[in-house]
Structure 1
């Protein structure tokens, strides 16, 4: 069974990932994964894609056909074009409705698994100690603060453990971001010309000729 210590950490980690990646990005990723499954929605999406491809072909042929010189062909293509356009509009409405319903369901699950648990767990397990501190290692006021609000004195409360997990996740995230910035964001600076005294100084030709003339 998943321990309460690990559960609190995973909730804080999940909430941080959602805030970092973004809810819209997660919704799109899960929606694409859902479309990869053999469901009715994925079947409709494949049919919509095929119909859209056929519609673009008919539209291209229609634009390339003269309504005056080839009226019969143009009229036939026009009827097919209008029929496919109407089908596409209906499929698009159904597709958008399915996607909106999916995103609403995912939003409820995501909120419950992150923000909801962040409030429910400290309230439900407020009196339960996460773990006990070594006896005599800390002064009384430190033990009282770590057990706040309702855990036994001498233990670490779920609120304190939650705050510690939040700090650990933020610290790890900043560390990873800094390392990635150094690896991928560093720019190679061009070599600067050496300006020391060992470089051969160039003398203008006018000054060189003048010095020869004086000598």
Structure 2
């Protein structure tokens, strides 16, 4: 038993030592990405530009049917995030725009910069937690929970979100159901909506039967 405890402590110390062995691990996009992220770029080739993301600059065009635009600063676009367990996104919502129900592999914190939105999430007991947010308000969406945002103001809304994962993923529920290749018959059965409505949603979202 003592030897097992010793082995556990030794393994923990080795793990902790490995965790602080490098100051950073800027992603090397020339190498394949693994389940734990990208391989590290040669430190001799790392520059200050690797640590700066400029994708949030300027006005963002909104062209989708929902009336929103999301600019993602995930590890595949922002190399310095690799291995750090954090990421960000910019959220632009047109008047009346909606970010439909979606989920991530991580938790998310949102801060509203402009406008007025209703934001919320639904837990595994089907309880909805939602609130009207004003400028400066912050809300958290727990890990993997379905959540959404709706612009209820008279001007376009702007928010920034932070997620505790370098590549947290983004799955929009409605496009996943009707914008992909899920057969109509299955989409109808698992949503309990009519065949006509399934076809209408596919037409809007560009899915294939």
Q: TM-score range by the shorter chain?
A: under 0.3
CA radius of gyration, larger in: 1
Larger RCO: 1 or 2 (CA < 8 Å, sep 6+): 1
- TM-score normalized with structure 1 length: 0.20
- TM-score normalized with structure 2 length: 0.20
